């Protein structure tokens, strides 16, 4: 359940002061993979664990926890020279783990000649996800970027011939090649490249360290640097990269932390 939580029950002072607590609100699902949006009225600084969070002029901020994050985290708010701190608890999730044996080795381990390309792709993606702007769009309500059956979920994992593969960090939408992909939120295009694993790939910045990634596309409708508007066409569904059929793989990152798109506050997903 997506909820608003008020600071008077969330935050306690680490000093002996009995002064009033700051007005802080948190919105989102407190579970692994969740993105949390908050507002700290009158705060000068906010920290999630030891990371200082950039604030909007009216004190809004965002953070998230990954697939295998521990349950306990810390939120710290500085206001009028006082420090207020609270422990936040995120629930653990059960993920779909599939064991598949008898898979040809070439599908388990990429050929040595593509290793350099894979490393270069990874660096380009990581670099795009270091972008930190003050675009306010992550505080809006997202829409689904494609229409179709949900064919893959966040956190699932396959074990090929006893060797665990990387977990799946996206939300898969089954759709035919050429189906429209639209921007779930306003933003700026950070990357538009053909990558080894994910094929034609777009990354869009929504602000405050949060970005969307769209994978296995057949066509780009935008280019790096373009400003996109929520609901506008940005690409077409495809089957490029390492896939078995056409679909959109949509991912959400808070900086380098991989989050679950299905947990975006207010997102309406039709099965």
What CATH number belongs to 130-152+169-263? 2.70.70.10
- Run of H or E residues at 121: helix 115-128
State the Cα–Cα distance between residues 44 and 193, nearest whole angstrom. 39
Total number of residues shown for the chain: 271
Summarize the confidence of residues 72-99 as an average pLDDT.
92
Query: In terms of pLDDT, which residue wins out, 107 or 256?
Result: 256
Asked whether the predicted pLDDT for residue 136 surpasses 80, the reply is: yes
Per-residue pLDDT reduced to its tens digit, 9-40: 343 322 223 345 678 899 999 999 999 999 99
Q: What pLDDT score does 18 carry? A: 33
Report the candidate in 86, 115, 94, 91 with the shortest Cα–Cα distance to residue 26.
86
Summarize the confidence of residues 198-225 as an average pLDDT.
98
Pairing between β-strand 35-41 and β-strand 12-13 as defined by DSSP bridges: unpaired
Per-residue pLDDT reduced to its tens digit, 152-175: 999 998 776 667 678 999 999 999
Q: For the chain, give me the number of helices (H) and strands (E)? A: 3, 22
> In the chain, what are the domain boundaries?
3-89, 130-152+169-263
- Give residue 105's pLDDT band: very low, low, confident or very high (50, 70, 90): low
Summarize the confidence of residues 56-73 as an average pLDDT.
97
- Give residue 103's pLDDT band: very low, low, confident or very high (50, 70, 90): low
Lowest mean pLDDT among 93-107, 136-150, 160-174: 93-107
């Amino acid at each position: 359940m997506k909820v608003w939580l008020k600071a008077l029950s969330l935050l306690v002072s680490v000093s002996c002061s009995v002064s009033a607590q700051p007005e802080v609100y948190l919105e989102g699902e407190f579970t692994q993979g969740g993105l949390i949006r908050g507002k700290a009225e009158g705060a000068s600084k906010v920290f999630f664990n030891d990371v200082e969070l950039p604030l909007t002029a009216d004190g809004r901020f965002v953070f998230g926890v990954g697939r295998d994050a521990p349950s306990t985290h810390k939120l710290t708010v500085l206001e009028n020279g006082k420090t207020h701190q609270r422990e936040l608890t995120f629930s653990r999730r059960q993920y779909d783990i599939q064991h598949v044996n008898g898979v040809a080795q070439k599908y388990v381990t990429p050929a040595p000649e593509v290793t350099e390309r894979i490393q270069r792709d990874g660096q380009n993606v990581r670099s795009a996800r270091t972008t930190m702007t003050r675009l306010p769009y992550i505080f809006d309500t997202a829409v689904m970027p494609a229409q179709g059956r949900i064919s893959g979920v966040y956190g699932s994992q396959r074990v090929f011939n006893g060797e665990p593969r990387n977990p799946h960090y996206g939300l898969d939408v089954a759709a035919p090649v050429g189906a429209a992909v639209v921007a779930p939120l306003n933003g700026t295009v950070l990357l538009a490249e053909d990558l080894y694993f994910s094929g034609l790939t777009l990354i869009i910045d929504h602000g405050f360290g949060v970005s969307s990634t769209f994978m296995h596309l057949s066509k780009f409708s935008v280019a790096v640097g373009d400003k996109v508007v929520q609901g506008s066409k940005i690409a077409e569904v495809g089957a490029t990269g390492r896939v078995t059929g056409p679909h959109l793989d949509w991912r959400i990152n808070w900086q380098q932390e991989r989050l679950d798109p299905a947990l975006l506050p207010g997102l309406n997903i039709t099965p």
